[in-house]
């Protein structure tokens, strides 16, 4: 990719969501806005190599897209017998004449509107994810489908249905009021974290990490922090993503094999990302109730601060998990707390807790329960029981890289019986 193409690609990545949000407010149509913006970038590819990269690339793209959008709206009005029909279709949005001169006036509000619209509770979670990545992130339908291992037509239909739902249900293009903000903001953060998790720990296939999804989730979390400064949960989410992503290069060996946190070469961790995440946590106000993503980030931070695995503050991690479990009762969090207790207070203490979780049946189909139990049994030398637990984990695991790791562990304990 030459320098001009790189600059266009950078503008695309950095400005797509902001410009798209303004175009949607202007037109009241996801499809017309997307078509106009794509045409503007196509025009940039044709013009910029001849005329040079404009000083304000975002303004150039915005102007070109707006002109194309105005043309499209005019064609749409002509196509319809009555212009009132078009206005009824877009009644939940500001009419075009009221917005033409204000597209650049409220990019912050526009992007917030777009985030909350994409993550509206009337949409199914999988539709929220697809629409957020397509509309705010600018990923193509093919890229999103490939990332989630879905047929492209399936993913395309998901996006089409989401847009139709927004139109048919007349979902307003707005930032929710104060009384609805907590619930809606939780949905936004949940969607961004689902996107990150699918990149960081791919559920299916041979790829352990999909860096494009991780990067996109982090970028969108940065946008959320910029739009709502001072929100500790948003900052905690971004910090958590940065800390987890900082370990990406160390998670796979030379031959693609999974390397556990305990065995990773910590010199490969991204020190810059870790510093930024720790600064976010340090900047949070004291003497207040801590929130979910902040607590999860503080747990990840304890790992980041340990120069060696044996230096990990497991007692502090167990305490943070206890706080998190009180805030968000969940068998998965209880499982993580049990592992931390095993490392802090002795393996029998943790194994007893894991056995209690297993007996409840709540995580019977969760392969990490069986993998964690197998690991503790292996450390205690109870290899026959460990082998049985590894086999159960293998039955449930769907990521090929993780399955190969479990197979290596199973072979190891089987040989030591």
How do residues 309-340 score in pLDDT, each as one tens digit? 999 999 999 999 999 999 999 999 999 999 99
Give the domain ranges of the chain: 1-101, 106-250+269-282+293-298, 314-360, 365-417
User: Kind and range of the H or E element at 30?
Assistant: helix 30-51
Q: What is the pLDDT of residue 202?
A: 54
With cut-offs at 50, 70 and 90, classify the pLDDT of residue 201.
low
With cut-offs at 50, 70 and 90, classify the pLDDT of residue 3.
low
How do residues 176-199 score in pLDDT, each as one tens digit? 887 888 878 888 998 898 888 877
Task: Specify the pTM.
Answer: 0.77
Contacts of 247 (CB under 8 A, 6+ apart): 261, 264, 268, 269, 270
Q: What is the pLDDT of residue 300?
A: 97
Quote the Cα angle for 337-300-279, to 5°.
140
Cα–Cα distances in angstroms (integers) from residue 182 to residues 5, 13, 21, 99, 353, in the given order: 41, 29, 22, 29, 33
Q: What is the pLDDT of residue 262?
A: 94
Cα–Cα distances in angstroms (integers) from residue 247 to residues 68, 152, 263, 348, 368, in the given order: 44, 31, 12, 29, 19
What is the share, in percent, of the chain residues with pLDDT greater than 90? 54
CA 391 from chain centre, in angstroms, equals 31
Per the structure block, which two tokens stand in for 83? 């212009």
Q: What is the pLDDT of residue 2?
A: 59
Flag whether pLDDT at 295 surpasses 70.
yes
**Distance (Å, whole) CA 192 – CA 128:** 10
Contacts of 40 (CB under 8 A, 6+ apart): 61, 62, 64, 65, 68
**Distance (Å, whole) CA 195 – CA 294:** 18
Contacts of 65 (CB under 8 A, 6+ apart): 19, 23, 33, 36, 37, 39, 40
Cα–Cα distances in angstroms (integers) from residue 213 to residues 220, 252, 385, in the given order: 11, 17, 37
Quote the Cα angle for 368-373-377, to 5°.
145
How do residues 216-257 score in pLDDT, each as one tens digit? 889 889 988 988 888 999 999 999 999 999 999 998 888 888
Nearest Cα to 393, choosing from 378, 380, 325, 245?
378
**Distance (Å, whole) CA 280 – CA 186:** 19
Q: What is the pLDDT of residue 98?
A: 34
- Evaluate whether 241 touches 276 at the Cβ level (below 8 Å): no
Burial 361-386 (b: 16+ CB within 10 A, else e): eebeebbbbbbbbbbbbbeeebbeeb
Rounded to 10°, the helix 57-79/30-51 angle is 130
- Evaluate whether 317 touches 302 at the Cβ level (below 8 Å): yes
**Distance (Å, whole) CA 337 – CA 322:** 7
**Distance (Å, whole) CA 16 – CA 72:** 19
Task: Quickly tell me which residue has 């970038």 as its tokens.
Answer: 41
Average of per-residue pLDDT across 47-51: 88
Average of per-residue pLDDT across 281-295: 92
How do residues 62-95 score in pLDDT, each as one tens digit? 999 999 999 888 887 776 654 555 455 444 443 3
Range of lowest pLDDT (196-210, 280-294, 306-320, 360-374): 196-210
Q: What is the pLDDT of residue 79?
A: 66
How do residues 102-115 score in pLDDT, each as one tens digit? 344 455 578 888 98
How do residues 112-147 score in pLDDT, each as one tens digit? 889 899 999 899 988 998 998 888 888 888 878 877
- Residue 205 in 3-state DSSP? strand
- Evaluate whether 368 touches 357 at the Cβ level (below 8 Å): no
How do residues 372-413 score in pLDDT, each as one tens digit? 999 999 999 999 999 999 999 999 998 888 999 999 999 999
Q: What is the pLDDT of residue 216?
A: 82
Average of per-residue pLDDT across 246-275: 93
Q: What is the pLDDT of residue 106?
A: 53
- In the chain, helix, strand, coil percent, each to 5? 75, 0, 25
Per the structure block, which two tokens stand in for 409? 């562990």
Nearest Cα to 303, choosing from 331, 340, 347, 341?
340
């Amino acid at each position: 990719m030459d320098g001009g193409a790189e600059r266009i690609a950078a503008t695309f990545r950095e400005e797509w969501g902001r410009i798209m949000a303004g175009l949607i407010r202007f037109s009241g149509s996801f499809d017309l806005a997307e078509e106009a913006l794509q045409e503007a970038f196509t025009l940039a590819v044709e013009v910029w190599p001849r005329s040079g990269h404009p000083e304000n690339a975002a303004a150039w793209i915005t102007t070109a897209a707006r002109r194309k959008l105005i043309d499209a709206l005019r064609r749409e009005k002509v196509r319809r017998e009555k212009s009132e029909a078009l206005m009824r279709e877009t009644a939940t949005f500001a009419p075009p004449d009221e917005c033409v001169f204000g597209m650049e006036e409220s990019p912050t509000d526009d992007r917030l509107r777009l985030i909350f619209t994409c993550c509206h509770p009337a949409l199914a979670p999988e539709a929220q994810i697809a629409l957020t990545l397509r509309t705010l992130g600018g990923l193509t339908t093919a890229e999103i489908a490939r990332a989630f291992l879905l047929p492209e037509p399936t993913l395309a239909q998901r996006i089409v249905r989401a847009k139709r739902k927004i139109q048919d249900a007349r979902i307003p293009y707005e930032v929710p009021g104060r009384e609805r903000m907590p619930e809606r903001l939780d949905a936004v953060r949940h969607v961004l974290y689902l996107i990150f998790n699918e990149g960081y720990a791919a559920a299916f296939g041979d790829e352990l990490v999909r860096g494009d999804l991780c990067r996109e989730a982090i970028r969108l979390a940065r946008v959320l922090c910029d739009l709502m400064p001072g929100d500790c949960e948003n900052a905690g989410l971004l910090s958590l993503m940065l800390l987890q992503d900082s370990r990406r290069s160390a998670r796979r060996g030379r031959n693609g094999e999974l390397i556990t946190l305990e065995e990773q070469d910590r010199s490969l961790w991204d020190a810059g990302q870790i510093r930024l995440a720790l600064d976010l946590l340090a900047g949070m106000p004291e003497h207040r109730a801590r929130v979910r993503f902040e607590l999860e980030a503080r747990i990840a931070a304890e790992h980041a601060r340990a120069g060696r695995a044996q230096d990990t503050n497991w007692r502090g991690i167990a305490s943070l998990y206890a706080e998190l479990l009180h805030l968000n009762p969940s068998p998965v969090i209880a499982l993580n707390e049990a592992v931390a207790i095993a490392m802090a207070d002795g393996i029998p203490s943790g194994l007893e807790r894991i056995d209690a979780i297993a007996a409840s049946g709540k995580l019977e189909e969760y392969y990490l329960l069986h993998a964690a139990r197998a690991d503790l049994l292996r450390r205690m030398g109870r290899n026959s029981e460990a082998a049985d637990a590894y086999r159960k984990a293998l039955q449930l695991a769907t990521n090929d890289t993780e399955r190969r790791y479990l197979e290596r562990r199973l072979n190891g304990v089987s040989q030591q019986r």
